[in-house]
């Protein structure tokens, strides 16, 4: 950060650190703990908390693409006839954003609700099927060529050569031509050849020629690797298959039934192999691939930084709640949840929902407002375990799929009220990160509340609703 700021000062002497807003983009499929980790890492790198925004990558891409001339509409001409005009997406348009980066594939569905405003109509999903999956297939191919122990020795001893090898492959994999026959050529480090020959005491060229799977399909000539085009294309199979299958599944959702357009963005979207797979499998959809698709997220992040409220609502991927104690009811609560706390019979491990899966979360508005009281009269704060659940209406935090994601700590400023003190907790889920506020019901004072997704699991809640 310091180097960039000094360079900016050289061109703009009056600039101050507070004049810079940093926008950090992350995959939309990341959980809340991952987002918090990135925020804290950015702060340790010298970026102040108030100068940092977290943007979701497919949303940033979508914001940029909103301004692209992609729709044709008819407008009345001066002569009374109609002429065709190209414009950005019109109000009400729904489209799927498939953001294919180096590591992850992020997919979500957006709808234009007004000029420069979007809403999410299906929660983000995806997986680790991006360009690195192709890199892994290439790595496994190399291991077959030189064998695992040789590759690991090369990887350990020749790190600079390893970097150059994958840079060479990065260029090659973006330019593999569909339908081409014959052999493709790329450079490999001579250090890889030397490592093999030092370990195996034989020529790599001769060794490769004896591998039945690669006979007449792979050759080593000096520092050149010649590979049959079909083998190179096969390295893309798993990545494209996973992406296509997931997009097909999403089109089965009720929210996606009337979606006719797919925006393909991200660095790996420039791959002809992926583009071809998308065209072949979604012939009834309009596929839009912007120019310089790898820069779309970056450009959209700039737009987001200038106007973060362009995303007006999102959809909850999980149910969110806290673990609490409630009065035990015979016949309603299971006996294994029964215990006595402060002289009262309670049911433990109850999932108190703040947000339900699939709920629309309006940006900037509190999605829940619940009252909590302490279990003990001398408590100075309330500490809650925060859980997510894959179901819409979980009963207990021990239900299948429930995950402890961290803690929420709320200060209790007034000790005079004993256990009957009440604190109202609001969770604002609409942004890219969760904002929590706690208000003392007697004084009206808003007290500090933190939502820590990086705490260890296993600590119990000490509050009751």
- What is the percent of the chain with per-residue pLDDT over 70, rounded to a whole number? 87
Mean pLDDT, the chain, integer: 84
CB under 8 Å to 79, separation ≥6 — which residues?
Answer: none
In this predicted model, which residue has the larger pLDDT, 161 or 122?
161
**Does 136 score more than 50 pLDDT?**
yes
pLDDT digits (tens, 9 = 90+) for 357-388: 988 888 878 877 888 877 666 667 777 788 88
Q: Which helix (H) or strand (E) holds 276?
A: helix 272-281
pLDDT over 90, % of the chain: 39
Of 417 and 100, which is predicted with more confidence? 100
Check whether 264 has a pLDDT greater than 70.
yes
Q: Which of 14-23, 92-101, 138-147, 375-384 has the lowest mean pLDDT?
A: 375-384
| Average pLDDT, integer, range 145-168 | 95
Per-residue confidence (pLDDT) for residue 312, from 0 to 100: 85
Which pLDDT belongs to residue 7? 85
Task: Kindly tell me if the per-residue pLDDT of 433 is higher than 80.
Answer: no
Rounded Cα distance, 305 and 288, in Å: 24
Average pLDDT of the segment spanning 216-221: 92
Quick check: 26 and 35 in contact, CB under 8 A?
Answer: yes
Return the pLDDT at 432: 66
pLDDT in tens, 112-128: 888 778 899 988 889 99
For 449-460, how does the pLDDT look when each residue is reduced to its tens digit (9 = 90+)?
666 666 544 334
Q: Which helix (H) or strand (E) holds 146?
A: helix 131-146
pLDDT, residue 457, reads 41
Domains along the chain with CATH numbers: 2-76+86-129+240-312 (3.30.420.40), 131-234 (no CATH), 316-464 (2.60.34.10)
Residue with tokens 């100068």, as numbered in its chain: 51
Strand partners, 105: 100, 127
- Name the pairing type of β-strands 261-265 and 286-288: parallel
98 falls in which pLDDT band (50, 70, 90)? Answer: very high
- Say what the pLDDT of residue 78 is: 45
C-alpha torsion sign, points 451, 457, 462, 464: positive
Assess contact for 144 and 213: CB atoms under 8 A.
Answer: yes
pTM for the whole thing?
A: 0.79
- Write out the two tokens for 414: 């007034």
Q: Which pLDDT does position 438 carry in this prediction?
A: 77
d(CA 262, CA 32): 27
Asked if residue 202 has pLDDT above 80, the reply is yes
Q: Detail the DSSP E strand segments found in 188-290.
A: 218-221, 224-228, 261-265, 286-288
Strands (E), 178-217: 183-187
Q: With bands split at pLDDT 50, 70 and 90, how would you rate the model's confidence at 79?
A: very low
Inform me whether the pLDDT recorded for 82 exceeds 50. no
């Amino acid at each position: 950060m310091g180097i960039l700021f000094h360079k900016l000062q050289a061109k703009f002497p009056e600039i101050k650190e507070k004049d810079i807003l940093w926008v950090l983009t992350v995959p939309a499929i990341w959980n809340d703990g991952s987002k918090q980790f990135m925020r804290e890492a950015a702060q340790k790198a010298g970026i102040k908390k108030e100068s940092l925004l977290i943007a979701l990558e497919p949303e940033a891409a979508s914001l940029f693409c909103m301004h692209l001339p992609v729709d044709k509409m008819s407008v009345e001409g001066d002569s009374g006839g109609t002429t065709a005009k190209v414009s950005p997406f019109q109000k009400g348009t729904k489209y799927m954003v498939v953001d294919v980066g180096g590591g992850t594939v992020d997919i979500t569905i957006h709808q234009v609700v007004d000029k420069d405003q979007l809403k999410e109509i299906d929660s983000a999903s995806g997986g680790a099927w991006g360009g690195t999956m192709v890199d892994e297939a290439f790595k496994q191919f190399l291991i077959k060529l030189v064998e695992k122990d040789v590759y690991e020795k090369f990887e350990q001893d020749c790190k600079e050569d390893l970097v150059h090898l994958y840079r060479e492959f990065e260029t090659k994999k973006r330019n593999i031509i569909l339908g081409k026959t014959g052999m493709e050529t790329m450079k490999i480090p001579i250090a890889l050849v030397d490592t093999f020959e030092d370990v195996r005491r034989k020529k790599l060229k001769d060794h490769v020629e004896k591998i039945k799977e690669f006979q007449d399909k792979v050759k080593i000539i000096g520092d050149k690797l010649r590979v049959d085009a079909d083998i190179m294309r096969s390295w893309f199979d798993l990545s494209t298959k996973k992406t296509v299958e997931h997009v097909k599944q999403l089109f089965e959702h009720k929210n996606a039934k009337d979606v006719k357009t797919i925006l393909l963005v991200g660095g790996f979207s420039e791959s002809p192999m992926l583009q071809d797979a998308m065209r072949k499998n979604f012939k009834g959809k309009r596929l839009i691939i912007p120019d310089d698709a790898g820069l779309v997220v970056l450009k959209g992040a700039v737009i987001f930084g200038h106007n973060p409220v362009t995303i007006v609502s999102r959809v909850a991927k999980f149910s969110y709640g806290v673990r609490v104690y409630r009065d035990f009811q015979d016949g309603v609560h299971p006996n294994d949840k029964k215990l006595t706390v402060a002289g009262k019979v309670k049911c433990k491990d109850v999932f108190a929902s703040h947000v339900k899966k699939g709920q629309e979360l309006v940006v900037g508005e509190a999605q829940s407002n619940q009252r909590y009281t302490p279990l003990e009269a001398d408590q100075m704060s309330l500490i809650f375990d925060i859980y997510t659940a894959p179901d819409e209406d979980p009963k207990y935090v021990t239900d299948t799929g429930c995950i402890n994601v961290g803690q929420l700590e709320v200060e209790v400023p007034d000790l005079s009220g004993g256990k009957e003190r009440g604190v109202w907790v609001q969770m604002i889920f609409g942004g890219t990160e969760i904002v929590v506020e706690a208000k003392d019901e007697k004084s009206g004072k808003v007290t500090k509340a933190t939502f820590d997704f990086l705490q260890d699991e296993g600590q119990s809640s000490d509050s009751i609703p």
